[in-house]
């Protein structure tokens, strides 16, 4: 770990101003991802701005009938919120499928969105990794790639985004609200928030340097049956091989997002429209153009079978 300086920001403007002063700065929230990466010198911020003191820890109704989730709301609190459990159950279930109780107590909404990949080569600084060291190569291609992406990957990187929460949010059409160092705010649709790796796998989100996430908003509830199904080797405390977030209406229409298959929560609106025709039809569209490795080709049939089970469950 490189030594760093540290400050506690008291309001978003101060945090942003501080970032402008110190280009090597990073925000720290729960620290459950950032600190691990700093110990391994995968992240080497020279300055940390602790955002835990910003009053961004509330869940409030929006004028549009949705919910505004503060960037610092802990995963545990978000999953337990009665409005979330009633109207956005897929999010609650996705959160509870992630990490462990202790981690969820610390992990924040913003931090969860921004957690980095669990690719083991990314974690080993002796190994080539375009995401960690642009231009060094990708050790996962041709290596151990069982966990990796089957769709949307590139010659440069086949990592997945490991978040469960983000998959639920993608199914819910959430929006990420931010403030930039110059004070400008914007709202980024979750579909555009995470990037595909392309030739720049180190650029993971739409955030510009120093941009602070203040909240995530959920639109008005859409009803339906909410299911989050996470498939993994170990019963708990493991990242998804494949996960399915689904909202299914009585008439069989609905939405599907997948986790564990791509560099971002994976949803294609045109695939949603295939839902009434069943899992095979959805996957034909959702995973069209998939390029799995030999080790993770099973994820294609796994995703389809899992969605099939989810749709059966939704019919009740």
Partner 1 sequence: MKFESPATTNPIDQLKIVGQSVSRIDGPLKTTGTAPYAYERHDVVANQAYGYVVGSAIAKGRIKSIDLGAAKAAPGVLAIVTADNAGKLDKGRLNTAKLLGGPEIQHYHQAIAVVVAETFEQARAAAQLIRVDYAAEQGAFDLASLLDKAKPNPITAGPADTAVGDFAANFAAAPVRLDARYSTPDEAHAMMEPHATIAAWEGDKLTLWTSNQMIAWNKAEMAKILGMRAENVRLDSPFVGGGFGGKLFPRADALLAALGARAAKRPVKVALQRPLMFNNTTHRPATIQRIRIGATRDGKITAIGHESWSGDLPGGKADGAVAQTRLLYAGAHRMTATRLATLDLPEGNAMRAPGEATGMMALEIAVDEMAEKLGMDPIEFRILNDTQVDPEKPERPFSQRQLTECFRTGAERFGWSKRNPQPGRVRDGRWLVGIGAAAAFRNNLLTKSAARVRLDNGGIVTVETDMTDIGTGSYTIIAQTAAEMMGVPLEKVKVRLGDSAFPVSAGSGGQWGGNNSTAGVYAACVKLREAVAQKLGFNSAEAEFADGEVRSGNRRVPLAQAAADGGLSAEDEIEYGDLAKKYQQSTFGAHFVEVGVDAATAEIRVRRMLAVCAAGRILNPKTARSQVIGAMTMGVGAALMEELVVDKRTGFFVNHDLAAYEVPVHADIPHQEMFFLDETDPMSSPMKAKGVAELGICGVAAAVANAVYNATGVRVRDYPITLDKLLEQMPDVG
Q: Rounded to whole angstroms, how far apart are CA atoms 182 and 306? A: 45
Least distance from ligand SF4 to the Cβ atom of residue 193, Å: 19
Least distance from partner 1 to the Cβ atom of residue 310, Å: 9
The item of ligand SF4, ligand FAD, partner 1, none sharing an interface with residue 27, based on CB under 5 to 8 Å by kind, is: ligand FAD
Q: Rounded to whole angstroms, how far apart are CA atoms 85 and 67? A: 12
Nearer Cβ to ligand FAD, position 51 or 157? 51
Q: Does 129 bind ligand SF4 (CB under 6 A)?
A: yes
Least distance from ligand SF4 to the Cβ atom of residue 135, Å: 11
Question: What are the C-alpha distances in Å from 43 to residues 1, 25, 195?
Answer: 9, 11, 19
3-state helix, strand, coil in the chain (%, to 5): 30, 20, 50
Q: Does 27 bind ligand SF4 (CB under 6 A)?
A: no
Residues engaged in binding partner 1 (CB under 8 A): 1-3, 39-41, 118, 120-121, 123-124, 126-127, 139, 142-144, 146, 229, 231-239, 241, 298, 301-302, 305-306, 308-309, 312
Q: At what angle do helices 279-286 and 298-315 cross, to 10 degrees?
A: 140
Phi-psi region of 59 (alpha: psi -120 to 50; beta: other; left: phi over 0): beta
Nearer Cβ to partner 1, position 17 or 35? 35
Choosing from 33, 109, 130, 225, the residue that interacts with ligand SF4 (CB under 6 A) is: 130
Question: According to DSSP H, which parts of 213-294 are helical?
Answer: 269-272, 279-286
CB 304 within 8 A of CB 280: yes
Residues that bind ligand SF4 (CB under 6 A): 117, 119, 121-122, 129-131, 138-140, 157-159, 201
């Amino acid at each position: 770990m490189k030594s760093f300086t540290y400050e506690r920001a008291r309001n978003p403007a101060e945090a942003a101003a501080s970032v402008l002063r110190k280009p090597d700065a990073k925000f720290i929230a729960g620290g459950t991802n950032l600190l691990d990466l700093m110990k391994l010198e995968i992240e080497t911020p020279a300055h940390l701005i602790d955002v835990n003191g910003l009053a961004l820890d509330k869940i409030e109704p929006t004028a549009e009938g949705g919910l505004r989730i503060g960037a610092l709301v802990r995963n545990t609190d978000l999953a337990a919120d009665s409005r979330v459990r009633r109207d956005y159950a897929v999010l609650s279930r996705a959160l509870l499928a992630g990490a462990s109780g202790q981690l969820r107590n610390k992990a924040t909404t913003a931090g969860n969105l921004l957690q980095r990949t669990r690719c083991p080569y990314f974690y080993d600084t002796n190994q080539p990794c375009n995401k960690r060291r642009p231009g060094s190569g990708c050790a996962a291609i041709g290596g151990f790639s069982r966990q990796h992406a089957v769709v949307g990957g590139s010659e440069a990187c086949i990592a997945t985004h490991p978040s469960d929460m983000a998959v639920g949010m993608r199914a819910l059409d959430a929006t990420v609200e931010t403030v930039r160092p110059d004070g400008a705010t914007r709202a980024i649709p979750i579909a555009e928030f995470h990037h595909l790796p392309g030739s720049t796998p180190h650029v993971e989100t739409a955030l510009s340097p120093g941009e602070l996430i203040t909240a995530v908003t959920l639109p008005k509830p859409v009803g339906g049956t909410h299911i989050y199904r996470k498939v993994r080797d170990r019963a708990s405390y493991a990242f998804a091989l494949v996960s399915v977030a689904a909202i299914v209406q009585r008439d069989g229409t609905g939405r599907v997002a997948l986790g564990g298959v791509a560099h971002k929560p994976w949803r294609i609106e045109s695939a949603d429209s295939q839902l009434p025709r069943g899992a095979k039809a959805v996957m034909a569209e959702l995973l069209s153009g998939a390029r799995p490795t030999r080790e993770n080709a099973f994820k294609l049939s796994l995703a389809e079978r899992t969605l099939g089970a989810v749709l059966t469950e939704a019919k009740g």
